[in-house]
Structure 1
Amino acid sequence: MLSIIQAAGWPIWPLILCSVVGLALVVERLISLRERRIAPPKLLDEVMAVTRQSLPAADVVAKLHDNSVLGQVLAGGLRAVSADPRINEHGLRQAFENAGRVCVHQLERYLNTLGTIAAAAPLLGLFGTVVGMIDIFGSQAPTGGSNPALLAHGISVALYNTAFGLIIAIPSLMFYRYFRGRVDEYALTLELAAERMVPHLLRFALRTAPAPTTPAA
């Protein structure tokens, strides 16, 4: 491998950097997008059971917020009702939506970088191949006395960059699509959980009595 890197020349170093960064991002996303860290299966039912009679205390809501991403969304709704006991359905839905946007943004972290690596790696490989071909043909004697075997070897060395770029791009693109699908799935889970919580929490919202109407004269 070291001999291939040395033979491919300096254009392969950006590809090596992309491979290291891409691998680190894949490992980080695999760890961060686990189900128990995003949306534990029984968390919503547990929250609804705890809040069946009354709203939980602030320290309980804080623990819920730190539990998972779904906990952050649910805690946002609980805090909205606690802060404004007269909140209406629109305001509560807006509170859930704002919390959901923040959480989805967290889930999408580093995905743009991984997608950029998947798109840029083949171009970097092609750039390295072009640079290598320029060096090969530029080193040939102008009288045409070139060695075909040496020329073929030089071309194969130049193509290392393209091959290395594809080796980086294909797994990066596959993991990017996989993580994008996981984020979409989790976003739907958060949305459905918020929909279940809205009517549940509206039971604790105070209703202002309608103003009495004066009979027409």
Structure 2
Amino acid sequence: MSPQLVSALNQLVVSAEPAMSFDLVSMWHTMGFFAKFIACVLGIMSIYSLGVMAERLVTYARASAASRQYAEQLRALLPTRKYSDAVALSKKLKRGHLSKVLGLAIEEYERGVKAIRTRGPEDVGDFDVIAAVNRAIDRSSMRTVADLRRGLGALATVGSTAPFVGLLGTVAGIITAFQAMAATGSGGLGSVSAGIAEALVTTAFGLLVAIPAVMMFNYLTNRVEDMQVDINDSANELVDYFMKEGRSEPTTAAK
């Protein structure tokens, strides 16, 4: 058989085969019901994770701005002992993590001092005001940090499970491709390449959902840890101030 005849036959076979399109729209139309279901699930997970990211970023930005404003004004209120104004300011700037914790601590200190100075009909005697303030700080700190972490667990779940959800769709698609190959009796890679390509789309989609979720989870977790450090440092400084309140600085004796 001459080379020209072989080339002509090959061209005839290639032209007889239908051209396969590997764009996403064509793959979506040729995907099975289960693969479409997996893609929809991944789409929902992606939208949810993006919503959590946006909401947390806005929340942390507002909390940081409110906390900075509260800390700046608190420096002028504490030396003049305007504790009621400091508590009112904390309720006004309630978005800030520092205003939530320090405001409750100042309120507890003010109430404790008033309770010690007055005697009620069911008075139980003296108590440690600083210990009461520390307990108030612990309560408010736990609630504040828990509120800051809200949504991060779901974001971590999306980041860890999205690749497996996509892999499930890929496995189901490959099984379908091999079943079609067995039903038609055709063999070779060419007969299953289209089905495998369609199946791998779900894995790629799963990775596309998981990678941003994991990256943002780590970033947001670091933001929460930084704010938790700010809470602890500021609360300790406030307790130290209360312990030294009313005591004058030691003066050097004149020689």
TM-score computed with the length of structure 2 as normaliser? 0.72
Unaligned runs of 5+ in 1: 206-217
Percent same amino acid at aligned positions?
A: 27
| Displacement after TM superposition at 1:102 (Å) | 0.9
Instruction: Report Cα offsets for 1:81-133 as digits up to 9, x if no partner.
Output: 12221443222122112111111111101000000000010010011111111
Equivalent residue number for residue 157 of structure 2? 116
Q: 1:172 to 1:143 in 2, by over 3 A?
A: closer
Find out whether 1:62 has 2:103 as its counterpart: no
Q: 1:5 to 1:72 in 2, by over 3 A?
A: farther
| Displacement after TM superposition at 1:142 (Å) | 4.7
Conserved in 2, the CA contact under 8 Å of 1:88 and 1:202? no
Conserved in 2, the CA contact under 8 Å of 1:55 and 1:78? no
Equivalent residue number for residue 125 of structure 2? none
Equivalent residue number for residue 185 of structure 2? 144
Find out whether 1:90 has 2:131 as its counterpart: yes
Conserved in 2, the CA contact under 8 Å of 1:78 and 1:201? no
| Displacement after TM superposition at 1:45 (Å) | 4.1
> Which of structures 1 and 2 has the larger relative contact order (alpha carbons within 8 angstroms, sep 6+)?
1
Equivalent residue number for residue 200 of structure 2? 159
Find out whether 1:105 has 2:132 as its counterpart: no
Equivalent residue number for residue 238 of structure 2? 197
Q: Which amino acid aligns with 1:139?
A: A
| Displacement after TM superposition at 1:74 (Å) | 1.0
Q: 1:195 to 1:115 in 2, by over 3 A?
A: same
Instruction: State the Cα RMSD in Å.
Output: 2.2
Q: 1:172 to 1:37 in 2, by over 3 A?
A: same
Cα distance in 2 between the residues matched to 1:80 and 1:22 = 39
Conserved in 2, the CA contact under 8 Å of 1:64 and 1:71? yes
More displaced 10-residue stretch of structure 1: 163-172 or 42-51: 42-51
Structure of greater Rg: 2
Q: SS of the counterpart of 2:83?
A: coil
Cα distance in 1 between the residues matched to 2:229 and 2:86 = 25
Conserved in 1, the CA contact under 8 Å of 2:130 and 2:242? no
Find out whether 1:73 has 2:73 as its counterpart: no
| Displacement after TM superposition at 1:27 (Å) | 0.8
The number of equivalent residue pairs is: 203
Unaligned runs of 5+ in 2: 1-23, 117-127, 247-255
Cα distance in 2 between the residues matched to 1:66 and 1:79 = 14
TM-score computed with the length of structure 1 as normaliser? 0.84
Equivalent residue number for residue 13 of structure 1? 40
Q: SS of the counterpart of 1:15?
A: helix
Q: SS of the counterpart of 2:186?
A: coil
Find out whether 1:181 has 2:207 as its counterpart: no
| Displacement after TM superposition at 1:22 (Å) | 0.7
Equivalent residue number for residue 38 of structure 1? 64
Q: SS of the counterpart of 2:37?
A: coil
